[in-house]
A and B are shown apart, each in its own frame.
Chain A
Amino acid sequence: MSAPSATQSSQLSPGSSAPGRPAGGSSWFGRFTQTLNVIGTILILVMAVAVNADVVGRGGFNSPIAGVTEFIGLSIVAVVFLQMANTLREERHVSNDVFIRLAGEAYPRVVAGLYCSYHLIGAGLMFIVVIYVWPILRQNYEGGYFAGTAGVVQIPIWPFMAIVVLGAATTTIQFLIDSWTQFMRAWRGAQG
């Protein structure tokens, strides 16, 4: 991989990787997480352009663009959930695996079992997120709530909440897949 991945810009975890993930991306689910990632990436670029347009509009023409602030606030949440599953798949979430990696060299199966349960817990948490954000989505959809100033710019909130639900559901599945992978590793280790 070229430069950006080599820079490891996440200042948080230096190349943390649970050992031996199967090459992802070829399955339809892998492609789906990639699609969400692409949409999230485009949304980031749109945000960058919107911020600049707002600055230019305000500074150059003394007319800030209505709704940019609200749009950006909602978008950042959407970006996080669009990228969440893919970030997990690429093992770029923040974890602290210095000690567990050492343990993994001595007891690979025990550590695989531990990761299996941790990923399962992660799936549980993301499922809880789906359950509790769902009512917010429904409220916003049925109530037709929007951000912005009435009569000027109205940005409906529900699509952003729908993205949260979709992203959390996708991440749930990704956690389940990861958990299964670790389970198989713990199990096969027992046989071989």
Chain B
Amino acid sequence: MGDIAIGAICLASSLILIQTGMNIGVALMLLSFVGVWAIKGQVIAGKLLASSVATSIASETYAVIPLFVLMGLFVSSTHMGRDTFDVAALLMRRLRGGLGIATVGANTVFAACTGTTIASASVFTKVAVPEMMRHGYTAKFSVGVVAGSSVLGMLIPPSILMIIFGVIANISIADLFTSGIVPGLLLALAFCTTILMLSYFLPSFVTNDPQALKAGAGGPLGGTSLWSLVGKVLPVVILVGTVLGGIYGGLFTPTEAGGAGALAAFFIALARRELTFRLFWEIAQETGRVTAAICFLLMAAALYAQMLTLSGLPYAVGQWLQDAQLGFLAILIGYLLVIMILGCFLDSVSIMLIVLPFVIPVFESFNTNLIWLGLVSVIAIEIGLLTPPLGIAVFVVKANLEDQSISTWEIFKGTAPMTLTMVAVLILCVLFPKLALLLVGQRWSWW
């Protein structure tokens, strides 16, 4: 049996095992071990396994993961999300669909304090959905806006998904973070536009009660003083400034920004008198579990990538693509479609781990800017979070809903306009690499 066949069989079997519920890290690591054994023998398989476990993540770079998770947990276990939403609701109260726009706005700011879509989705399901429904918005619109705008969490730095892309593609995480700022803001703006258009042209989707859309309706804060408003947003502003300012200003590496951000979030939570020792300890433990889960996947991915390289499978795929004379655009579209489809039945981290070792060499042969590739990959994968059957963002919203009568299907229907908006933004980012590369200070275009 040829090495390429071994690689292909290992890849296929790991996909089957993952789909039938096996721990993803275990499946990837085990089949990679078996694959290397079949290709190079037991001694090398053992050595590579040991080094993937003991040394593949033994670098300061990887400490960025627990630090940003820690910061995100501090932020999402206090009421900073609610405060941000309250202020946004007050500011947007004159607009049609103002609470929807406020949700997007608050999510945009919140995204700069957490690295995951899940954190955003769970916090805003609790904060924004009840408020929107109380003001007469339909259930499907309320949950749809929350699920849709939660994807900003992964696009606007810090972002766990970008960290993982940076690690696998071996490119600067700081540059990746920076590349997400403009597209993230663009997506937020596009979401707001969609909401405005829906409330003008399809009000029945947004509300059952036309009065609710009238200007001035809604907002949990009425007649609050300016100072208390400032007090509500100041902590978030400090955090965003520390993380984004620190990285973009060149003051911090991402790891240091994570450390400083976690410390700042800790002091803010303390100052808000929301941090009991018990909560603090639970946050720290949770950070450990999330770190273990993600890092174990990264270890498995390191071995998997080596197995693939030894098998020659990515090289063969690259050759085949070259022989097919497809050209860059066809390959890019094919790649984005594949990861969007994979997003229907795999979680975003696993998609990156499995697909990137194949595609990165192919795109490198086209001299593709990998930072831009990372950015469009993240958007495409995030679209998968919103589409059935396995829209993870949607499930998180569902799990955090107080009103369990809202069905998963309703949520998917509600997110549909947001999903389409994302596709539009993805197309824009593909067409205009400048959107991603502007702040990074790189010039590159595929056409």
Name A residues whose Cβ lies closer than 8 Å to a Cβ of B: 1-15, 18, 37-38, 40-41, 44-45, 47-48, 51-52, 54-55, 59, 69, 72-77, 79-84, 86-88, 90, 92-101, 111, 114-115, 118, 121-122, 124-125, 128-129, 131-133, 135-136, 161, 164, 168
Residues of B within 8 A of A12 (CB): 293-294, 347-350, 392
Query: Does B20 reach chain A (CB closer than 8 Å)?
Result: yes
By the criterion CB–CB under 8 Å, are A4 and B286 in contact? yes
Determine which of B23, B57, B350 lies in contact with A118 in the assembled complex, contact meaning CB atoms within 8 Å. B23
**9 further A-B pairs in the complex, CB-CB below 8 A; given A37-B288, A87-B288, A93-B292:** A1-B282, A12-B349, A38-B285, A40-B288, A40-B292, A55-B260, A76-B58, A76-B59, A76-B295
Bound together, the chains give a CA A76 to CA B55 distance in angstroms of 10
Verify if B380 is at the interface (C-beta below 8 Å from A).
Answer: no
With A73-B60, A95-B22: A8-B118 Cβ-Cβ less than 8 Å:
yes
B contact residues around A88 at 8 Å (CB): 23
Interface of A is mostly: helix
**CA separation between A118 and B54, bound complex, in Å?**
24
Is the contact region of chain B dominated by helix, strand, or loop, or is it mixed? helix
- A-B contacts at CB below 8 angstroms, number: 256
Q: How many residues of B contact A (CB 8 A)?
A: 87
Question: Taking the nearest CB of chain B, how far is it from the CB of A31, in angstroms?
Answer: 15
| Chain B residues at the A interface, C-beta cutoff of 8 Å | 17-26, 29-30, 33, 46-47, 49-50, 53-55, 57-60, 62-63, 65-67, 69-70, 72-73, 76-78, 116-119, 122-123, 154, 160-161, 251-252, 255-256, 258-260, 262-263, 278-279, 281-297, 299, 345-350, 389-390, 392, 395-396, 399-400
Most buried by B among A3, A7, A86, A99: A7
CA distance A129 to B377 in the complex (A): 32
Per the bound structure, the CA–CA distance linking A13 and B283 in Å amounts to 18
Sampled A-B contacts (29; CB under 8 Å): A7-B73, A7-B76, A8-B118, A8-B396, A9-B72, A9-B118, A9-B286, A9-B290, A11-B154, A38-B285, A52-B260, A72-B63, A77-B58, A83-B289, A83-B291, A88-B23, A94-B347, A95-B21, A96-B18, A96-B19, A98-B345, A98-B390, A99-B20, A121-B22, A122-B22, A133-B54, A135-B50, A136-B54, A164-B54
Bound Cα distance from A136 to B53, whole angstroms: 11
Q: What's the Cα separation between A82 and B60 when bound, in Å?
A: 18
- Nearest B residue to A135 via CB reads B50
Interchain CB contact (< 8 A) of A73 among B58, B251, B258: B58
Q: Which A residue sits closest to B30, measured CB to CB?
A: A125
Could you tell me if B46 and A132 are in contact, using CB atoms closer than 8 angstroms? yes
